[in-house]
Amino acid sequence: MAAIAWEPRKPLSIEKVDVAPPKAHEVRIKVVASGVCHTDWEYLNEAGRGMNLRSFPLVLGHEAAGVVESVGPDVTKFVPGDKVIPLFLPFCEECDQCKCEKTNLCKKNWENTQAGVLADGTSRISCRGQQVYQFLGVSSFCQYTVVPDTSLAKINPKAPLEKVCLLGCSVSTGYGAAVKTGKVEKGSCCAVFGLGAVGLAAVMGCQAAKARRIIAVDINPDKFQKAREFGATECINPRDYGNKPIQDILVEKTNGGVDYALECVGSPVTMSAALESTRDGWGTCVIAGWTETESMSVQVIKILMGRTLKGTYFGGWKSAKDVPQLVEDYMQKKLKLDEFISHNLPLAQINDAFNLLRNGQSIRTVISLENF
């Protein structure tokens, strides 16, 4: 069974699907749990607007954990029964990007998976006699899926899959934005824009880096208590200040600007505000929020005055190489995951999960693929 998006801006439909056996360098996994990410919602509802239009019908979902069911020819690193986390970002270990410590942007099968197909140009999922595209090469809103062996991380067999699935996207992205890409320093002052799962993970990362001051910014004050639990030292709702720009508020409150700003909303306006909230000379702004077709406005003087503007994809982690260690950090209680999960729902209620997300009522909903 799978939740299929037959067309943009329509509810998902629970359907019986066929999932073909894996081909060379592919692995078929039984998906146990999948987080519902804002990116899933955006690709469904903002297709052709802030997001590039994907092919439909489509099975969404890209933040998951499961168990290897079978492997295709030439697969050497996985065997049936392995606990795994599928990844939308590959790690082939062979390309220039994988060999370079400066980036995690492996491009193995990149164009194909972005188009919703695997290496041979087809999907392994079909329904009603037609091909169903795989979102980012993953499609975790399906009981079974097939992924490239370069886009899969083998993890601790004792790890609870319904928790560590969050390391497939949100928590890894936000946490890495702070500790990996931003390299937040001890004693620094930080601002995190947006308190969804990515933003809360960024707050957690700032705390792990021992930042002195962590300012959480969101227009939904219901998220402030949770932000404090993750390490925020103060919370700001921009709407409490009328029409005054949030960047001006932060510059005043910090006597010149924050050392690090982490944008976790995906709004070009917020991105510009985040950059402008940083301090002259050494301020760093990291963009973790996602948009594909929009542009942000940058005053050149802001860069000339010594600021650094950086982007991060999957938090800077080299996916299959680094995710197993993040799982270990969770197992050793160095990383929070349970606290992100606000709802647990069966696959049959996937549309309810999207509604919770859209209305700002959830942090992360985890979908069980074993129950309907």
- Whether pLDDT at 370 is above 90: no
- Whether pLDDT at 49 is above 70: no
Strand 152-154 versus strand 83-86 pairing type: antiparallel
DSSP secondary structure of 178-217: IIIIS-PPTT-EEEEE--SHHHHHHHHHHHHTT-SEEEEE
60 phi/psi in degrees, rounded to 5: -80, -175
Which residue, among 98, 78, 66, has the nearest Cα to 164 in the 3D structure? 66
- Whether pLDDT at 349 is above 70: yes
Residues 125 and 142 in one domain: yes
Tokens describing residue 118: 């695997």
Radius of gyration of the chain (CA): 20
β partners of residue 346: 368
Instruction: Give, for 287, the enclosing helix (H) or strand (E).
Output: strand 284-287
Question: Which CATH number is 252's domain given?
Answer: 3.40.50.720
Residues 241 and 348 in one domain: no
Average pLDDT (232-236) is: 98
177, part of any domain? no
174, part of any domain? no
Helices (H) and strands (E) in the chain, counts: 12, 19
Contact status, residue 93 vs residue 169, Cβ threshold 8 Å: no
Contact status, residue 148 vs residue 118, Cβ threshold 8 Å: yes
pLDDT number for residue 159? 98
Q: Return all residues near 119 (Cβ < 8 A) that are at least 6 apart.
A: 23, 25, 26, 109, 112, 148
Contact status, residue 75 vs residue 68, Cβ threshold 8 Å: no
Quote the domain boundaries for residue 204: 182-311
Residues 269 and 143 in one domain: no
User: From CA 66, how far away is CA 5, in angstroms rounded?
Assistant: 22
pLDDT number for residue 285? 98
Q: Mark out the alpha helices in the chain (DSSP H runs).
A: 38-45, 96-99, 110-114, 161-164, 170-176, 197-208, 224-230, 246-253, 268-276, 300-304, 319-331, 350-358
pLDDT number for residue 95? 94
Average pLDDT (192-211) is: 98
User: From CA 362, how far away is CA 360, in angstroms rounded?
Assistant: 6
CA distances from 280 to 258, 259, 284, 299 (A): 9, 9, 10, 13
pLDDT number for residue 53? 75
pLDDT number for residue 372? 63
Average pLDDT (341-363) is: 94
Tokens describing residue 276: 């402008």
Average pLDDT (295-303) is: 93
- Whether pLDDT at 52 is above 90: no
Tokens describing residue 117: 């197909």
Whole-number mean pLDDT of the chain? 95
- Condensed to tens digits (0 to 9), the pLDDT of residues 138-152 reads 999 999 999 999 999
176, part of any domain? no
More confident residue, 332 or 360: 332
Of 311, 328, 350, the position where a domain reaches its end is 311
75, part of any domain? yes
Residues 20 and 127 in one domain: yes
DSSP structural state of residue 159: S
57, part of any domain? yes
Residues 8 and 147 in one domain: yes
- The percent of residues above 90 in pLDDT, for the chain, comes to 90
- Whether pLDDT at 50 is above 80: no
Residues 106 and 212 in one domain: no
pLDDT number for residue 22? 98
Quote the number of domains for the chain.
2
Average pLDDT (28-57) is: 87
Tokens describing residue 300: 């050149």
- Condensed to tens digits (0 to 9), the pLDDT of residues 125-137 reads 999 999 999 999 9
- Condensed to tens digits (0 to 9), the pLDDT of residues 164-181 reads 999 999 999 999 999 999
CA distances from 259 to 93, 265, 286 (A): 34, 19, 11
Which residue's entry shows tokens 């009603």? 128
93, part of any domain? yes
Residues 284 and 363 in one domain: no
- Condensed to tens digits (0 to 9), the pLDDT of residues 320-336 reads 999 999 999 999 999 99
pLDDT number for residue 293? 80
Q: Return all residues near 246 (Cβ < 8 A) that are at least 6 apart.
A: 193, 217, 236, 238, 273, 277
Which residue, among 348, 360, 347, has the nearest Cα to 140 in the 3D structure? 347
pLDDT number for residue 58? 96
- Whether pLDDT at 312 is above 70: yes
CA 128 to chain centre: 31
Instruction: Give, for 86, the enclosing helix (H) or strand (E).
Output: strand 83-86
- Whether pLDDT at 46 is above 90: no
Average pLDDT (245-259) is: 97
Q: Prior bond to 57 cis, omega within 30?
A: yes
User: From CA 214, how far away is CA 193, in angstroms rounded?
Assistant: 11
Tokens describing residue 283: 């301020």
Question: Which CATH number is 362's domain given?
Answer: 3.90.180.10
- Condensed to tens digits (0 to 9), the pLDDT of residues 89-113 reads 999 999 999 999 999 999 898 999 9
pLDDT number for residue 261? 98
Residues 36 and 144 in one domain: yes
